[in-house]
Amino acid sequence: MRVGVVGVGGMGNVHARKYALMPDVELYAYDRNPDRLDVYCAQFGARPLGSLSELVSGVDAVDVCTPTDAHHDVAMAAIEGGKAVLVEKPMARTPEECASLISAAAKKGVPLMPGQVVRFFPEFAAAHQAVVSGRVGKPAAVRMRRGGKAPKGSDMWFQDHARSGGLLLDLAVHEFDWMLWTLGDVRSVYSRSVRLGHPVEGAEFEGDYALTTLQFESGCVGHVETTWMDPSGFRVTLEVCGSEGMIEYDSRSVSTLRIHDAAGSRSESNLSPTHDPFYCELRAFVDAVSSGSAMPVAPEEGMKAVAVSRAAIESAKSGRAVSPLEV
């Protein structure tokens, strides 16, 4: 399969490393920054294409790794060209943009998948399975936490709320998606956020730390802590409490390898390179496109997670609980 990555920054690099492990994938790429595109193609053996339209006509599937504000237009160009599309999370900036992609993809009959990668982390997949199969009984409360240092991206776009949606869209969408997948629909969302770092011009809400509570239709309560102000680096936690038991996960307590060398200190997985959430996500997309089967994550699910993020933003701005159906 010829896969074309659009946007060869941080995530475009992560995806290329995973496609490189797939002998049945030929990689193509386009980025509006030609220098970055050249370096990327040399590093990963991808074929550079000079424009989005050239890329769309030259591949079988398009993988959208641009900043979030470009997701809608890039994915729409791919859909209009009749190509299968994977869009990095969040699927788009608003539920309206998501709905526009969903209806265009349905009309054209092309597969569309949002890159909600947390579903492909072995621990989160196993925790989901344990909850839906009743191992903790009736879920009562779920607490999730994700945070690290503020991301910069290629031109500080993460800090521009108009482009990224800030941390309640960019980061918390991971937790909102896992919770919706595992616990069902959300009735209302209440979020409080504070800024501890430098003020951000044009910010939609004050936020490099946010605490969001979710009331699920099932009666379960969700609690999501999201921060771009954690000086200790990236950390993710999960706790599910139910009538018959409890599940806990902390990304700091898994047995990754800690490597210290000239490039700095980092954690590396001690599992095989194909036992990796991004590999599993991209492999599942490629396999579903090849076999014509349903997308592993439906686009409607990507849209629901974006709607919960938007409700959280609206709540942080207004100070009231907001239904995802209102946004």
Ligand X SMILES: NC(=O)c1ccc[n+]([C@@H]2O[C@H](COP(=O)([O-])OP(=O)(O)OC[C@H]3O[C@@H](n4cnc5c(N)ncnc54)[C@H](O)[C@@H]3O)[C@@H](O)[C@H]2O)c1
Q: Under the rule (CB under 6 A), what is the footprint of ligand X?
A: 6-12, 30-33, 36, 65-68, 70, 74, 88-89, 115, 117, 153-154, 157, 170
Residue 33 vs 218, nearer CB to ligand X:
33
Cβ-proximal residues to 39 (8 Å cutoff; 6+ apart), any chain: none
User: Distance from CA of residue 224 to its chain's centroid?
Assistant: 16
Among 225, 195, 214, smallest CA distance to 321 is for 214
| Minimum distance, C-beta of residue 105 to ligand X, in the bound complex (Å) | 18
Residue 139 vs 146, nearer CB to ligand X:
146
Residue 117 vs 131, nearer CB to ligand X:
117
Residue 65 vs 220, nearer CB to ligand X:
65
| Minimum distance, C-beta of residue 2 to ligand X, in the bound complex (Å) | 18
| Minimum distance, C-beta of residue 267 to ligand X, in the bound complex (Å) | 15
Q: Is 47 exposed, middle or buried (0-12, 13-18, 19+ CB in 10 A)?
A: middle
| Minimum distance, C-beta of residue 3 to ligand X, in the bound complex (Å) | 15
Q: Is 321 exposed, middle or buried (0-12, 13-18, 19+ CB in 10 A)?
A: middle
Q: How far apart are CA 148 and CA 284, in angstroms?
A: 28
Cβ-proximal residues to 272 (8 Å cutoff; 6+ apart), any chain: none
| Minimum distance, C-beta of residue 136 to ligand X, in the bound complex (Å) | 26
| Minimum distance, C-beta of residue 178 to ligand X, in the bound complex (Å) | 12
Residue 157 vs 216, nearer CB to ligand X:
157
Among 281, 327, 280, smallest CA distance to 304 is for 327
Cβ atoms of 274 and 268 within 8 Å: the answer is: no
Supply 62's token pair: 């398009």
Residue 220 vs 308, nearer CB to ligand X:
308
Cβ atoms of 43 and 102 within 8 Å: the answer is: no
Q: How far apart are CA 61 and CA 73, in angstroms?
A: 16
Residue 88 vs 301, nearer CB to ligand X:
88
Residue nearest ligand X, Cβ-based? 9
| Minimum distance, C-beta of residue 138 to ligand X, in the bound complex (Å) | 31
Amino acid making up residue 36: R
